[in-house]
Structure 1
Amino acid sequence: AERAALARLWRDNADLTALASIARAGVPTHDQLEASYPGDAIRAAAGPGRVFFGLIAVRQTDGTSDTTGPMALTALAEARLAEDDLDSAISLTGELEGSALEAARDWLIAARARQDVDRRLLALRQSLADEAAARGEDPS
């Protein structure tokens, strides 16, 4: 309703037009994206591990870097989500490969939709503030 009202007042705005389909379908919130992050599915897809005595889980790595493997990328993405840094979480998750990336596919689609909404809303706010400032009004 709010988007539609703005669209009537602010015709031909590309950001408002793009938000029309999103407004109908909806996108998850930041909290929902954090809660739905498929960390366990990514870790499971990254490959088998061995459990000793039912207590110690060991996973083989390729030995290259502890910041580029699926376990590290997943842990870093989860940490960024906890810090409300969706852009970094998306970037890190997008670095996954193979079955680990496939396990994150649906989350990435939803997260990128939220990212697009956030960027468009920021652009709209800035445009409104710029127009108010040009008229000598307080944009807050």
Structure 2
Amino acid sequence: MRTFTSLDDVAAAVGTELGTSEWLEIDQARVDTFADATGDHQWIHVDVERSAAGPFGGTIAHGYLTLSLIPFLGSSVFSFDTPGAKLNYGLNKARFPHPVHVGKRIRVTVTLTACDDLPTGKQVTLSHIIEIEGVAKPACVAESVVLLLEG
């Protein structure tokens, strides 16, 4: 686990792979809970019987569920324990090259790709690659942006 305690430490880490999380199994209960939270009950996600005969041979996780796990997975890789507020600023890009089948395990590898000065702190860009155990293509490739404000 990489812990950053100052904005200077963050800036010095540009270009550094911060690490890889532990594996997390995606089960049907998590997919169903996400469907309930978002109202997205498309059958490829929640109908186990129908999905078995569908294009993926079973249910798959929502792409946005996979994306939403970046903070959880990343929390075991790095931490910004800098003095000021930490704000999720958004995404520059996100893609879902391969579906995550229910029952598969995923993990994330995080790289700190940029750290730009702001009048109130730093704007940090992080690359996240979520891989699926035993699958060549990643489940998700995303670039997130975090604002680290001075304390």
Q: Give the shorter-chain TM-score range.
A: under 0.3
By percentage of residues, which structure has more strand?
2
Q: Which is higher, the Rg of structure 1 or of structure 2? A: 1
Q: Considering Cα pairs closer than 8 Å and 6+ residues apart, tell me whether 1 or 2 has the greater RCO.
A: 2
TM-score under structure 2 length normalisation: 0.24
TM-score under structure 1 length normalisation: 0.25
By percentage of residues, which structure has more helix?
1
